[in-house]
Amino acid sequence: MIVVFFVPHAVGTKGYELLLEWARIIGAFALVLGLGSLFRTHWDKIRRRRRGEWPYSIVTLASFVLMVWAGLVYGNGEGSVGTRLLAVEEGTLFQWLFDNVEVPLDATMFALLSFFIASAAYRTFRARNLEATLLLITAVIVMLGRVPLGEMMHERMPGLYEWIMQYPAVAGKRGILFGVALGSIATSLRIILGIERSHLGG
């Protein structure tokens, strides 16, 4: 798949499309396995009444069943099950649950996450050496460039923020993605060759 990206050839393109079809099929089966694992894990916690965890497992399973029921059974009131999955209209029970339950919960979670990020940043961004100092200065510029206060301090602050996000940040991101891709390839080869056993025991 990587070779086809750099050398687009008819033979390689057909193989690439075949691998994509395999990936879709494997993804569908992986979804089924994931749902089975979800139910088994939380049902085991409920059955054993694991201290401090089983009430949350009840909420998780009940919420999952409710959302599936709202999407499949209730749907938008017309068409087949597939149509209800792919075309959920505004005003349906599924959309109401998503807008009034899922979205506020996500907002609350990310709001709490911001405090943890601020705490971690306070502990991390200490000018102990040159690299930490550069990271601290860059982070301050980025944060000031995102808010009106930065433009009030200096008119070029937003432009400097854009430059950092377009060039140094993208370069670092690409390096990280290269590392992740090479690590994924190495791990996949180890599993295929039997050097490392997967979590499924294969």
CB neighbourhood size of 71 (10 A): 20
Dihedral (Cα; 125, 127, 130, 133), 10-degree rounding: 50
Tokens of 176: 């990280």
The answer to whether 144 and 127 are in contact (CB under 8 A) is no
Is the pLDDT at 164 greater than 50? The verdict is: yes
For residue 92, give the DSSP letter.
Answer: S
What is the pTM (predicted TM-score) of this model?
A: 0.53
pLDDT of residue 134: 83
Q: What percentage of residues in the chain have a pLDDT greater than 70? A: 82
Looking at residue 81, its pLDDT comes to 52
d(CA 178, CA 16): 20
For 43-78, write each residue's pLDDT tens digit: 988 888 877 788 899 999 999 888 888 877 765 555
Distance (Å, whole) CA 46 – CA 59: 11
CB 16 within 8 A of CB 4: yes
Dump pLDDT digits (tens) for 97-135: 888 888 999 889 888 887 887 777 777 666 677 877 888
Q: Which helix (H) or strand (E) holds 191?
A: helix 168-192
Average pLDDT rounded to a whole number, residues 161-175:
91
Enumerate the domain spans of the chain: 1-48, 51-124, 127-201
HSE-CB at 100 with a 13 A cutoff on CA atoms is 8
Q: Which residue has the tokens 């999955």?
A: 85
